[in-house]
Structure 1
Amino acid sequence: MSNQQYIEWTTVQNTWINQYTSCAKEATTGKTQLVMSMATCRNFQETLSMMMQRVNPQLSPPEQPIALCSEYIDVQEFQINSKNAFSRLQTKVKKANKSAEKLQRAKDDWQQANQLVQSKQYVFVAIDIEAWEQDHSILLEIGWSLYDSKTDQYMDQHYLMNTYRHLTNGRYVSDQKLRFAFGTSVWCSLDQALKELRKDLDWCVQRDGGFVLVGHGLDSDLRYLQKAKFHWPGTNGNGDTLDVNQSALVTICNTDEMYAASIGNLHNPPSLGTTLGLFGIDCWNLHNAGNDAHYTMLLFMELIKKANE
C-alpha cells in the first residue's frame, strides 16, 4: 500500500466551484438573438443609403447602429435570401427564447421548492392515481405520501376501489395494485378514499394554512380528481373548490420539471422509474399508486439535495 494520500475529484471540484461562484460573471443571458457582422451591417447600410437617395436625395444617410454587445456564444451562420427565409429564422429565434424562458421558470420553481423545504413550514403531499388502462374514467387506486417538513416525518396511504375489484391492468401497464410496499392497502369506495385524502389536507390547512403538492407529471392526476368532483380545502375559512389553484395550495412541485431544470433540458423528461434509476434509487412495483407516490416523494427529496449542492 502506498502512503500517498488521495482526495476525490468531486470534492476538489465542488470546493472550488462554491468558492468562486459568487465572483463569476453571468456567462450568458440565455437569450437567442438575430445578429449580423459589422461588415455585413456596413454593406447593408450602403445599400439602404442608395435606396433612400433614390426616394429623396435630401434624406440623410442611415446612422451607424451602436453595437450593444460583442460577446456571443454558439454563433451560427444563416444565409437570408428572401423574406420567407428571414421569417423562418425569426420564428426559430422566438421558439428558442420561449424554451429558454420556460427552462428558467423551471429552475426558479426548483429553487422555490428547495426554499419551501428549508423553511420547514408546510406538509408536502405527493399524489398518484392509477386508472383502468381500458377506460381512464375508471379509477382503480389512489395513493399519497406526506412529508411533514416541521417534524421531518413521512406517512403513506394507499386505497383500492372495491367497486372495481374485478378490473386489472396488465395489457399496457403492469398490474401492481396488490403490492403496496409501505403500509397496508385499504379497500373502500372512491368517495371514502377521497374523504380520507381530504382529511389529511384539512389537517395541513388547519395547522399550516396551506399545503404543497408534489407529483411526477401531476397534471393527469389532477384531472382525474377534478372529474371525480374532488373538493380542495380553501384558505382562511373560504369555501371548498374544485379548482386546485383556487384552494389552500401553496404551489405545485413537478419532479419531472425539477429534474429537467437540474440538467438544463426540458425536452422529453424521463419517466418516474427512469429518473429514480438516474439517482440510484432502487424501486419496486411501480404503477401501484401508493408506491408511486412514495417514490415520487423520495425523488423530490433527492432533487432538493441536488439543489443544495
Structure 2
Amino acid sequence: MGVPVVTGFYRYTDIWFEWYKQCGEDGEVLKAILAHDALVSPQHPLHVDGVDGIQLYVGTLKSGETRILLSSKQVEYVRYWLHAVGLTKEPIGLPYSDCLLRLQDLRGVSPQAFKTGGELKTAVKKIEKNNKSIKKSNDPPLTFRRSSFEAVRKLWQSKIGIWCSIDVESWERDHTVVTEFGWSCIHWEDGQEVRQEGHFIVNEYQTYTNGYYVAENRKNYRWGQSEIVSKKDFTSRIKSLLSDLRHNEYVFLVFHDAKEDLDYMKSDSIKADLSGVSYTLPDGVSSKSGVFVVDTADLFGGLQGEGTRNRGLEQVCNQLQIKTEFLHNAGNDAHYTLEACKTMACGDSLDLQREKRWPSKTTPGTVKVNIDALEDEENEASDEEGVFMSALI
C-alpha cells in the first residue's frame, strides 16, 4: 500500500522567511521567486488566469488567529517549476512537515487575491498585529469570539451591506443527499430594514425523509411558500442567489455553526462559488469590501463566555428569547439564524448585554454564564410549577 499524500497549507511567513534557509545554494533562487513583488507578476508561475495579482489563501486557526497561506499544491509547483526551467539541479526539498496545516487544523480557509507586493506586505503586518492582541488573552478562542461579536454589532448597527443567513438540510442516512436549502436576507433602503427569504426543496429527494435522528419538517416552512425544484434548478437557483448577493459592496453570509453548511455549499450537490470569502470581518465601511462569514455559534459563545463550545440553534434561540417552530426545516433555520444574529447585533455591547440577559448569573472572576446550570434551574422551576398546578386540579 502506498504512502498517503497529505495536502494542506503553509504559512506564507514560514515559506518566505524560513524555507530558503534549508535549501543551500538554491535558497537565493527560491527567495527571488517568492518575493512580494515577484509573486504578483502576471508572468509568475503561480499566476491564475483572471486574477489580478497573486491568489493566496487566508486561514483562521482554531485559536482565532489568522494566517496568509500558500496551498501545498502551490509550494509543490514552485519546486518543480524551478527544476523544470533549469534554475535548480534537483527539485528543492519540501518545507518541514511540522509547518503543514491541514484542513482539520483550521476553522476556515478561503482564496484571497493580492494585487501588489505592497498590499501583500501590508496584509501580513495587519494580521500579525491582530494576532498579537488575541495571544495576549488567556483564552484566545474566546477573545476571537468577543471581538467578532463587537465587530458584528458595529457593522449591523451601521446598516452596512446585505446579511444573508443560509441553511442546508440533508438526508439523515446519507449526508451527500442534499434535500433542502433555506435563505433569509436583510438589507436597508433609506434606513429601513428590508427582508427577503425563501426555501427550496429538491423534487427528486422528496421520498428521502428524516425523522429517526432529526425531525422531518421540510413541508413546514413558516415564512412563505416552499419551492419544489429539480436537482438541476436547485443548484442553479443557489448559484444565482449567491451571484446576485455579490452585486452588493458588503455581503455577510450568516450561518449557525458554519463549517457543516459551508461543506454542503462546496459539495458536488451545490458547487457554490465561495472564492474570496473571508472569515475576518472588516473594521467598518471604510474597509475593503467583500464577502464575509458570520457564525452565530461564535457570537453566542462570545456573549455567553465560552471559547470553543458551540451551542445548538434551538438552545441559542431559547436563551435569546426567540420563539421557534419546526426547526430542521432549512428555511425556518435560516430565518431563526438571522433572527439570532439580529437580536445580538442590535443589543448593547457584549458585557452589558450579557448582564441584561442573565442578571447576576456571570461566574465571579470570569465573563462566563453557565448556561447548563441556568437551564437546569429553569427546568426544576418548571417541574415544581407543574407539581403545584397538578395539586390545585
Q: TM-score, normalised by structure 1?
A: 0.61
Matched residue pairs, number?
A: 204
Distance in 2, matches of 1:276 and 1:301, equals: 12
| Letter aligned with residue 252 of structure 2 | V
- Deviation string 1:62-100 (CA, Å, 9 cap, x unpaired) is xxxxxxxxxxxxxxxxxxxxxxxxxxxxxxxxxx98861
Distance in 2, matches of 1:192 and 1:165, equals: 15
Distance in 2, matches of 1:100 and 1:289, equals: 33
Matched, 1:125 2:164: yes
| Letter aligned with residue 303 of structure 1 | M
**Residues 99 and 167 of structure 1, relative CA distance in 2, 3 Å threshold:** farther
CA RMSD of aligned residues (A): 2.3
SS at match of 1:302: helix
SS at match of 2:148: helix
Matched, 1:216 2:239: no
* Offset at residue 156 of structure 1 (A): 1.2
Distance in 2, matches of 1:192 and 1:98, equals: 48
SS at match of 1:212: strand
Structure having the higher strand fraction is 2
**Residues 99 and 293 of structure 1, relative CA distance in 2, 3 Å threshold:** farther
Distance in 2, matches of 1:172 and 1:99, equals: 38
- Deviation string 1:238-265 (CA, Å, 9 cap, x unpaired) is xxx4x7449x853211111101101221
Counterpart of 1:116 (choices 142, 146, 155) is 155
Counterpart of 2:229 (choices 188, 197, 211) is 188
Distance in 2, matches of 1:274 and 1:126, equals: 18
Alignment identity in percent? 25
Q: Which moved more, 1:272-281 or 1:116-125?
A: 116-125
Unaligned runs of 5+ in 2: 1-134, 280-288, 354-393
SS at match of 1:231: coil
Greater Rg by CA: 1
**Residues 149 and 230 of structure 1, relative CA distance in 2, 3 Å threshold:** farther
SS at match of 2:347: helix
* Offset at residue 157 of structure 1 (A): 0.7
2:142–2:308 CA contact under 8 A, matched in 1? no
**Residues 102 and 161 of structure 1, relative CA distance in 2, 3 Å threshold:** same
SS at match of 1:178: coil
* Offset at residue 203 of structure 1 (A): 2.6
Matched, 1:260 2:297: no
Q: TM-score, normalised by structure 2?
A: 0.49
Matched, 1:251 2:292: yes
* Offset at residue 155 of structure 1 (A): 1.1
* Offset at residue 178 of structure 1 (A): 0.4
1 or 2 for the larger relative contact order (CA 8 Å, sep ≥6)?
A: 1
Aligned to 2:183: 144
Unaligned runs of 5+ in 1: 1-95, 234-240
**Residues 196 and 210 of structure 1, relative CA distance in 2, 3 Å threshold:** farther
